[in-house]
Structure 1
Amino acid sequence: MARRQGDDDGPDIGTVVTPSAEFPPLNPEELGTLRRIGDRWRADQPGELPVDPALGRHGVRPTPTRFGRLAPIAMFRPDEPGELVATPPANLPGSRLGRALSRLRRGVLGPPLTSSAVLYERMRKLVALPILSSDLLSSVAYGPEALLSVLVLAGGGALGLSLPLAAALVVLMIAVGISYRQTIPAYPHGAGSYIVAGDNLGAGAGLTAAAGLMLDYVLTVAVSVAAGVHAVTSALPSLMPFTVPLGLLVIAVLLAGNLRGVRTAGNIFVLPTYVFVVALLGLLLVGYLRAAGRGFAPVPPPAVPAAEGLGLLLVLRAFASGAVSMTGIEAVSNAIPAFRPREWRNARTTLSWMVATLVLLFAGLTLLIHLDGLAPTTGQTLLSQLARLTFPTGPWYGVIQAATALILLLAANTAFNDFPRLLFFMARAGHAPRRFLHLGDRLAFSNGLVALSATAALVFATFGGHTEQLIPLYAVGVFLAFTLSQAGMVVHWRRHRGAGWQRRLLINAVGATLSGLVLVTAAVAKFSQGAWVVVVAVPLLVLLFHRVHRHYQALNAALALRPPPVAPAETGPAEGQPGPAEGEELPQQVRHLVVVPMARLNRASLRALAYAVSLGQPTLAVHIAPEEKESDRFREQWQAWGDHVRLETIVSPYRAVIGPLAHYLEALHGTAPELVLTVIVPEVVLRRRWHGPLHSRTEQRLRRALRELPGVVVTSVPVHLAE
């Protein structure tokens, strides 16, 4: 059960995402099984190892060689008895290209951070506010315009409906904001829609919310970058032909900034958000002073011919379009573990600041646009029009446009913070690839960041960077997650009744109802405009998540520890127990047959054969010959060598090698399923990549083919070329 609001006696280390999440501990049942297996374990091990595993702990440490390009470490240092610690890089790889790439990587991302630094890579409120609110606050730059762009289809006279619709949206913002304020202390480990809906409504609802959130985050990046580039091209029309390259460049910069880690990303993105808020507050102040000079009399909007009739469907479409101003309101609840202690309290305070600022800016801009009689036009945003009208002279128009462009371009950073964290929680539950559990050099979820960037770049380029084509896809995924999260909280309060639970349930019920109404409205009203893509994509993503989870369930079942059989190992497996070839964990139950494929008698094959015989297990050599003549010649050479190992030759008149050998080994294993066939393959290791096409690489193809055979272990004995 999640920790409740009052349980705050100290910082909860469980709320911190650490690198150890990739290595979950064994549960008590698994530990008991492991002990029973250990009690039966018998293996003949010499008393002393032939080398010092401590790497000469009290001597001179060896220096790295070619493997510096694979693992950026200088070497190891002793830490505790039986434990070595990899040290940070001391020098660069040996090749010129390796040194250049290493310098570039370190220059862009910075030096790696230790795993323990994750406790300090968290945000205080003043840093978290701009990082997590950039998406929410930046949406006021295009949210009012999205609302008015639909109303203007009914003519200039319909623009007056913007005020009641804006009032309804303000009510929705406050209701959803208060709902999420309640969610945060109820789920202090991370209150994302995926977790809340899955915990209270079932796995299907959680995955549906996750699918909606993932689409939301991808579209957040695409829409924010598109709106930011549009703001730039509004001020500098000559850049219009470069819309797509500019947007892709911004996505790359955002990726690089976030790969540097949470704190560094915060330092990069803090200033633009605060500058934008201050610039808009200045715009509102001057704009309302100008309106007060004329007694707040609204200027009539321009005469715009009606393209559609004014009806309920158009009004609902306008409301749903304006609701995109709320995207990002859930960001704080998703990122609770990224806050400093007390995590949930700091997150809730930050959310309150965000919602209050959103309401002030959205309501203030919508009313000021109405008072100044502005209408959407092609080629220039409404905010640009308002800034030109408010500041006809001086540098302030440029300042506002620059601040707007920056916040819109950086608004995508909210998605960069939350999307990888969502994938982390999904991967931890087995609904996403486990690679998303990994923390990179800078303790950022590098794989999730790259996945978000690549997907958003594809969407942005596909739609040509046009905001108006992307927004119809936006609201459905956003409010699907809102609705499921708030409905989940209603169930949560009914289950965990406490002081004031009925009031809290009512608040979340109101949030769920209003969010659900917007969801249905957006799905119906914008279905033909592109919302059908999200309606189709969500169930497909949920199906994909289920398939991933099914795979991990099968994997876990196959790798789960099994109790040892009752029968003694020497007499074979007990009845009903799996044989050794199926993966028993006791060494005395494993019976070997070592097989060495021999193409020709040379240094590589003899070395593999010597290695096989040194293991002290029964050994068989196998030769594939294209004709009887070659088979006889190889046997003569084998006799000249001394016939120290049993040889079996297979004649392959159609000159195939891999297929006949794989089928032979499969048949061999079928005659004695209790045996483990250890196939030792000689492999020539090339020093240069371009030498690859000069060799057939039969050993690699053989390894790939034999991996599919159960009860067969494939290993290789490398022979390194001097050049």
Structure 2
Amino acid sequence: MELKLRVLKLGKLLFGKSLKTEDLKNEKFNIFWGLPILSSDAISSVAYAGEEILWVLVPILGLMSYKYMFYAAICIVFLMFLLFFSYRQTIDSYPNGGGSYIVAKDNLGVIPGLTAGAALSIDYILTVAVSTSAGTAAITSAVPSLLKYKVLITASLIILMTLGNLRGIRESSRIFGIPTYLFIISVGIMIVTGIVKIYVLGYNPHPIYKIPEATGDIGIFLFLKAFASGCTALTGIEAVSNGIPNFREPSQKNAKIVLGLLATVVLLIFGGLSYVSTLYHAVPNSSETVISQIASQIFGQNIMYFIIQITTAIILIMAANTAFAGYPLLLALISKDGFAPRQFTKRGKRLGFSNGILLLSAAACLLVLIFKSETHLLLPLYAVGVFISFTLSQCGMFIKWIREKGPSWKRKAFINGLGAIVTIITVIIIGATKFFHGAWIVGIIIPSLVIIMLRIKKHYISVATQLKLKINIKPKEIDFANQKRYAIVPIDTLNKSFLKALNYARTISDNIIVFHVSVDDEATEKLLKKWNAYNVGIPIVIKKSPYRNLVGPLVSFIKSEEYAADHKDIVTVVIPQFVVEKWWCNILHNHTALFVKGMLLKERNIAIVTIPYIIEEE
């Protein structure tokens, strides 16, 4: 009992006290907290998006890389604003959230909708894995001695994020919101200082690492590959439209304001960092991030450098919170439609979708272990799923405007149509350039998830069909007065637990049989000797089981002609089960009663009653 109280106190400390359902309206975001929580993924992506472009260009173009990096960044910013206007229209049309999944399902059909849902699921899981891995990379850049512990550090960060989100929406916004603003302010200061230092103070920067000699020229394929790598800057931009129900009323208006603020921040931070990279010629490498190099050149190894590194690490970690805010809600919508287990629609003690949070955490930890917390290895899987969901959303909205022809439909259709064309091209580019780097895996996972979701829906339809009551058909009348009632009480050892079950069986039936499965002749002989000594007065049936199967002989006996019950009768099996008070004591017992109960549940004409007998600890 004392241990149980301690566990309850620990749970309350970690997750907070339980909330009432009516408290849900107070657990939603306002604009100030909604921006960092639902936008941290998109904002943080700028910390490594420019670096990914340089990874492609620098080994081939050398010093010329920085010129074409900026061109690629301009193309990405254009695509971002196109998506911004498109998702504003999605927010207006779908106030209940769901983003690409709902849009595609409503306008393109079930399969495209599930494809978008599967793509978003991969996106959210990779958001957690990539963001925390990138955060770990920022930490190890500042403290290289921690490099050998990066997998452990990343997994620990995911667990901390999970605990924070299990505490509820409002509390997680307070915990994870402030670091996002600190990152925006500190990086903004760095960008302005870096530009002023060169153009006002006349500083002549020198790269920390040697820039490789050029080995080739710029070509369309190389530029497209760099563009595809930088498109990771756009991940998370759909999270605001997915999470509209998480905003306070008026939720649509607040979501659109947050989306506009997000686009502005990404423009300033991503554009600014890309431009500063061209001035300070940061060289991507596995030991120090590009932001770390730029900060070191601008500030030196002073307090501002460490502030930049700390806030960068924190925002990269906090970016995972976008997934923790969006994915459980998406999963709840998919589950509500019957394409995922119903458990994901249930809110936990703190009114969050706890099961979705736990699934996201477990999947992300698994990816971190498989890819050893290497951001560079995880990113090729990342952008493909994101842009598949973008494409399906744009196509769905385009079809919606063409079909409905409402006010200003031509302008709206043009925006989404252009968005669809650009995102389709981007998907092809990313798929082609990243295919052999791991993007092919997404091509297997998405169809697999769609098939699984369809099978789940098929199961739910089958269950509903078999359970459905038709109003015009009344249930058959049953003569309960003349119906015989049978009871069987399994026995392994004659003890108080068995006698309690037997006494209960006597209250529901006069046709009682005690049934014993013999797997040990010596133990059976001891049981019979004790049974005869007690003279219970109820017949005992013994069946041998040479293969030690406990359930098979019982079911065979019930169905055999030897037993008096007809195959249409219901036979109640009364199972004795002793219960121990302390959790660790459960390890010491084999729980045969639970196993027998689980197997008997599959039999149609058998009812099961479990009679507990509590064992008190001294």
TM-score w.r.t. length of structure 2 = 0.90
The separation in 1 between residues aligned to 2:336 and 2:481, in whole angstroms, is 35
SS in 2 for 1:305: coil
- Matching residue within 15, 26, 32 for 1:126: 32
Q: Offset of 1:130 from its aligned partner?
A: 0.9
Q: Is the contact between residue 491 and residue 516 of structure 2 (CA under 8 Å) also seen in structure 1?
A: yes
Structure 1 residue 145 and structure 2 residue 36: aligned?
A: no
Q: Is the contact between residue 662 and residue 705 of structure 1 (CA under 8 Å) also seen in structure 2?
A: no
Structure 1 residue 251 and structure 2 residue 152: aligned?
A: no
- Matching residue within 525, 541, 561 for 1:649: 541
Question: Per-residue displacement from partner, 1:478-504 (whole Å, max 9, x unpaired)?
Answer: 101111111111122123221101111
- Matching residue within 657, 660, 666 for 2:559: 666
Q: Is the contact between residue 146 and residue 318 of structure 1 (CA under 8 Å) also seen in structure 2?
A: yes
The separation in 2 between residues aligned to 1:179 and 1:220, in whole angstroms, is 22
The separation in 1 between residues aligned to 2:590 and 2:255, in whole angstroms, is 59
Rate the CA distance shift 1:242–1:718 in 2: closer, same or farther, 3 A: closer
Provide the residue aligned with 1:104 in structure 2.
10
Question: Per-residue displacement from partner, 1:216-237 (whole Å, max 9, x unpaired)?
Answer: 1111111111211212222222
SS in 1 for 2:281: coil
Structure 1 residue 280 and structure 2 residue 280: aligned?
A: no
Provide the residue aligned with 1:38 in structure 2.
none
Provide the residue aligned with 1:577 in structure 2.
none
SS in 1 for 2:187: helix
Rate the CA distance shift 1:637–1:247 in 2: closer, same or farther, 3 A: closer
Question: Per-residue displacement from partner, 1:56-83 (whole Å, max 9, x unpaired)?
Answer: xxxxxxxxxxxxxxxxxxxxxxxxxxxx
Q: How does 1:80-119 map to 2 (within 5 A)?
A: 94-95=1-2, 97-119=3-25
- Matching residue within 494, 498, 501 for 1:608: 501
Q: Is the contact between residue 487 and residue 509 of structure 2 (CA under 8 Å) also seen in structure 1?
A: no
Provide the residue aligned with 1:519 in structure 2.
427
The separation in 2 between residues aligned to 1:642 and 1:103, in whole angstroms, is 47
SS in 2 for 1:142: helix
Amino acid at match of 1:169: I
Rate the CA distance shift 1:237–1:119 in 2: closer, same or farther, 3 A: same
Rate the CA distance shift 1:178–1:377 in 2: closer, same or farther, 3 A: same
Q: Is the contact between residue 205 and residue 297 of structure 2 (CA under 8 Å) also seen in structure 1?
A: no
Structure 1 residue 480 and structure 2 residue 388: aligned?
A: yes
- Matching residue within 239, 253, 258 for 1:345: 253
SS in 1 for 2:27: coil
Rate the CA distance shift 1:416–1:602 in 2: closer, same or farther, 3 A: closer
The separation in 2 between residues aligned to 1:458 and 1:653, in whole angstroms, is 42
Provide the residue aligned with 2:72 in structure 1.
165
The separation in 1 between residues aligned to 2:524 and 2:287, in whole angstroms, is 79
Q: Offset of 1:619 from its aligned partner?
A: 4.1
Q: Offset of 1:622 from its aligned partner?
A: 4.2
The separation in 2 between residues aligned to 1:670 and 1:525, in whole angstroms, is 72
Q: Is the contact between residue 423 and residue 436 of structure 1 (CA under 8 Å) also seen in structure 2?
A: yes
Q: Is the contact between residue 384 and residue 401 of structure 1 (CA under 8 Å) also seen in structure 2?
A: yes
Rate the CA distance shift 1:693–1:235 in 2: closer, same or farther, 3 A: closer
Provide the residue aligned with 1:65 in structure 2.
none
Provide the residue aligned with 2:599 in structure 1.
705
Q: Offset of 1:372 from its aligned partner?
A: 3.2
Provide the residue aligned with 1:719 in structure 2.
613
Q: Offset of 1:329 from its aligned partner?
A: 0.2
Provide the residue aligned with 1:5 in structure 2.
none
Q: Is the contact between residue 335 and residue 341 of structure 2 (CA under 8 Å) also seen in structure 1?
A: yes
Structure 1 residue 204 and structure 2 residue 96: aligned?
A: no
Bigger relative contact order (CA 8 A; separation at least 6): 2
- Matching residue within 355, 364, 381 for 1:447: 355
Provide the residue aligned with 1:675 in structure 2.
569
Q: Is the contact between residue 118 and residue 450 of structure 2 (CA under 8 Å) also seen in structure 1?
A: yes
Rate the CA distance shift 1:609–1:260 in 2: closer, same or farther, 3 A: closer
Query: Which range moves more in the overlay, 412-421 or 312-321?
Result: 312-321
SS in 2 for 1:368: helix
Q: How does 1:30-109 map to 2 (within 5 A)?
A: 94-95=1-2, 97-109=3-15
Q: Is the contact between residue 545 and residue 553 of structure 2 (CA under 8 Å) also seen in structure 1?
A: no
Give percent identity, aligned residues only.
Answer: 36
Aligned pair count reads 612
The separation in 1 between residues aligned to 2:475 and 2:351, in whole angstroms, is 49
Q: How does 1:304-703 map to 2 (within 5 A)?
A: 304-306=212-214, 310-392=218-300, 394-563=302-471, 565=473, 569-570=477-478, 592-598=485-491, 603-616=496-509, 618-624=511-517, 641=535, 643=537, 647=539, 649-652=541-544, 654=546, 656=548, 657-667=550-560, 672-687=566-581, 698-703=592-597
Query: Which range moves more in the overlay, 527-536 or 700-709?
Result: 700-709
- Matching residue within 174, 196, 201 for 1:289: 196
- Matching residue within 42, 50, 73 for 1:136: 42
- In structure 2, runs of 5+ residues without a counterpart are none
Q: Offset of 1:712 from its aligned partner?
A: 0.9
SS in 2 for 1:682: strand
The separation in 1 between residues aligned to 2:598 and 2:477, in whole angstroms, is 32
SS in 1 for 2:486: strand
- In structure 1, runs of 5+ residues without a counterpart are 1-93, 572-586
The separation in 2 between residues aligned to 1:444 and 1:591, in whole angstroms, is 49
Q: Is the contact between residue 47 and residue 291 of structure 2 (CA under 8 Å) also seen in structure 1?
A: yes
Amino acid at match of 1:281: G
Amino acid at match of 2:61: G
The separation in 2 between residues aligned to 1:113 and 1:251, in whole angstroms, is 24
Question: Per-residue displacement from partner, 1:698-721 (whole Å, max 9, x unpaired)?
Answer: 544432332221121111223344
Amino acid at match of 1:682: P
RMSD: 3.2
Question: Per-residue displacement from partner, 1:305-355 (whole Å, max 9, x unpaired)?
Answer: 346664332221111100000011001001100101011111011101101
The separation in 2 between residues aligned to 1:315 and 1:451, in whole angstroms, is 38
Question: Per-residue displacement from partner, 1:212-267 (whole Å, max 9, x unpaired)?
Answer: 11111111111111211212222222222222222122112211111111111111
- Matching residue within 141, 144, 147 for 1:234: 141
TM-score w.r.t. length of structure 1 = 0.78
Amino acid at match of 2:90: T
